[in-house]
């Protein structure tokens, strides 16, 4: 596959996942702020902003504007509308690679979301956009899985989706497990809902909300699709499949990085990491970044010398 195409598929997938993540977090946060609780509305919005728009949260969060900014701000790189636009723009560059159904769906979603023409303070409109993306993203995953060959293109899409998810989950967990600010039950429900995990958690661990169990579930549970462990397993699969296809390329570095990253979640118990969760999560994010750079150098922007096929 063309390197440029692989790159676009990867980013299409990452941005779509980013929009999906934002829609989950916003839906959960919006549900939370309706209730009076230990945390103030500002603090809750601050948490949402800091998990969705890292770097942008340092200033005081204006709760009136937070929702609008995270949904519709075309300047901010993090807003849902912007993520969907970038995902679509990437898809548009590689329309011949993705299936018509995928393009049609993404295109329609883009037009629906941008068609709302949100004004600040229009919470209902903002939440309508959030819902569109929530449903749209499940559908997009299904359409993608069902309509395209599970070949190299698919593996780059999977890689983008799960590296983004692993990073997003780590950032989100970090925002909830801030030291010395213990959340109440309602907040833990919020965290689980942000990961579409509430029902799954109850099934696996009962409805008793214990921080350590929640951390274990969202970090280390290999069976749950919105856990870090699950995401890293899928990344490993995707990278192995790509490297098996490409035969002679030098893949040692990428294999070493994904192996090390995966072992961080595969051979650890929650008791060992809960004390300094922040450091642990930061290490996962750093290693994801390192892996991203290595993949880019191996498959996308490699030096021409020695790259001729025999």
Partner 1 sequence: MIIETDSSDRGGAETLRRYELDGAYDEMFRAVDHPRKQYRLLHNLLLSLGPGELRRSKHEADQSFFNQGITFTVYGNDKGTERIFPHDLLPRIITAAEWERIERGLTQRITALNLFLKDVYHEEKIIGDGVVPGKIVYTCKHYRREMRGIKVPRDVYITVVGTDLIRNPEGSFVVLEDNLRVPSGVSYMLTSRRVMKQIFPGLFQKCRVRPIEQYSQELLSTLRFLAPEGRSEPTVVLLTPGAYNSAYFEHTYLARQMGIELVEGRDLVVHDNVVYMRTTFGLQRVDVIYRRIDDDYLDPLVFERGSALGAVGLFNAYRAGNVAFANALGTGVADDKAIYAYVPKIIRYYLDQDPILESVETLLMSNPAQRDHVCQRLEEYVVKAVGESGGYGMLIGPHSTEQERSEFREKINAQPRNYIAQPTINLSTAPCFVDGTIEPRHVDLRPYVLYGEKITIVPGGLTRVALRKGSLVVNSSQGGGSKDTWVLQN
Q: What are phi and psi of 173, to 5 degrees?
A: -60, -40
Pick the binder of partner 1 from 2, 145, 146, 293 (CB under 8 A): 2
Long-range contacts of 216-219 (CB under 8 A, 24+ apart): 216/270, 218/169, 218/173, 218/191, 218/192, 219/169, 219/173, 219/265, 219/270, 219/273
Smallest separation (angstroms) from partner 1 to the CB of 309: 5
Of 150 and 182, CB closest to partner 1? 150
Binding mask 62-101 for partner 1 (x = CB under 8 A): ---------------------------x--xxxxxx--x-
Least Å distance, CB 204 to partner 1, is: 38
Does 293 help bind partner 1 (rule: CB under 8 A)? Answer: no
Near partner 1 by CB under 8 A: residue from 1, 148, 268, 283: 1
Binding map of partner 1 across residues 5-44, x = CB under 8 A, - = no contact: xx--------------------------------------
Given a contact cutoff of 8 angstroms between Cβ atoms, the answer to whether 254 and 294 are in contact is yes
Nearer to partner 1 by Cβ, of 152 and 174: the residue is 152
Q: Which residues contact 164 (CB under 8 A, 6 or more apart)?
A: 13, 14, 17, 18, 21
Please name the residue that has the structure tokens 């956009």: 129
253 touches partner 1 by CB under 8 A: no
191 backbone φψ class: left, alpha, beta (φ>0; ψ -120 to 50): alpha
Residue count, binding to partner 1 (CB under 8 A)? 33
Q: CB of residue 272 vs partner 1: minimum separation in angstroms? A: 38
**Chain length of the chain:** 310
- CB of 42: closest distance to partner 1 in angstroms? 35
CB of residue 87 vs partner 1: minimum separation in angstroms?
14
Asked if 299 touches partner 1 (CB under 8 A), the answer is: yes
CB atoms within 10 A of CB 6: 24
> Of residues 133-152, which lie at the interface with partner 1 (CB under 8 A)?
152
* Residue 53 DSSP code: S
| 292 phi, psi to nearest 5 deg | -55, -45
Give the span between the Cα atoms of 66 and 119, in whole angstroms: 13
Q: Which of 41, 107, 240, 262 binds partner 1 (CB under 8 A)?
A: 107
Do 156 and 242 meet the contact criterion of CB atoms below 8 Å apart? yes
300 binds partner 1 (CB under 8 A): yes
Taking CB under 8 A as the rule, does residue 309 contact partner 1? yes
User: Which positions touch partner 1 (CB under 8 A)?
Assistant: 1-6, 89, 92-97, 100, 103-104, 107-108, 152, 156, 242, 245-249, 299-300, 302, 304, 307-309
């Amino acid at each position: 596959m063309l390197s440029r195409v692989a790159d676009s598929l990867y980013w299409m997938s990452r941005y779509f996942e980013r929009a999906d993540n934002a829609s989950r977090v916003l839906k959960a946060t919006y549900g939370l702020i309706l209730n009076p609780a230990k945390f103030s509305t500002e603090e809750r919005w601050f948490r949402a902003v800091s998990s969705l728009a890292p770097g942008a949260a340092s200033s005081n969060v204006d709760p009136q504007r937070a929702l609008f900014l995270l949904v519709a701000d075309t300047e901010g790189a993090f807003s849902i509308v912007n993520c969907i636009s970038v995902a679509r723009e990437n898809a548009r560059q590689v329309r011949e690679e993705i299936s018509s159904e995928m393009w049609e769906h993404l295109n329609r979603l883009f037009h629906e979301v941008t068609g709302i023409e949100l004004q600040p303070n229009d919470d209902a409109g903002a939440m309508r956009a959030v819902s569109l993306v929530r449903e749209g993203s499940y559908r997009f995953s299904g359409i993608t899985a069902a309509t395209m060959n599970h070949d190299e293109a698919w593996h780059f899409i999977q890689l983008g989706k799960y590296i983004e998810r692993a990073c997003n989950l780590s950032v989100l967990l970090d925002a909830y497990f801030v030291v010395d600010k213990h959340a109440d039950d309602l907040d833990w429900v919020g965290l689980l809902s942000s990961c579409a995990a509430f029902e799954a958690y109850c099934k696996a661990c009962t409805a008793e909300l214990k921080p350590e169990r929640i951390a274990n579930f969202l970090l280390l549970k290999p069976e749950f699709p919105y856990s870090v462990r699950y995401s890293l397993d899928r990344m490993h699969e995707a990278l192995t499949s790509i490297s098996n296809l490409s035969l002679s390329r030098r893949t040692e570095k990428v294999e070493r990085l994904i192996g090390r990253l995966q072992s961080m979640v595969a051979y650890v118990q929650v008791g060992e990491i809960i004390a300094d969760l922040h450091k642990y999560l930061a290490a996962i994010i750093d290693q994801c970044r390192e892996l991203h750079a290595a993949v880019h150098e191996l498959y996308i922007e490699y030096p021409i010398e020695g790259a001729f096929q025999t």
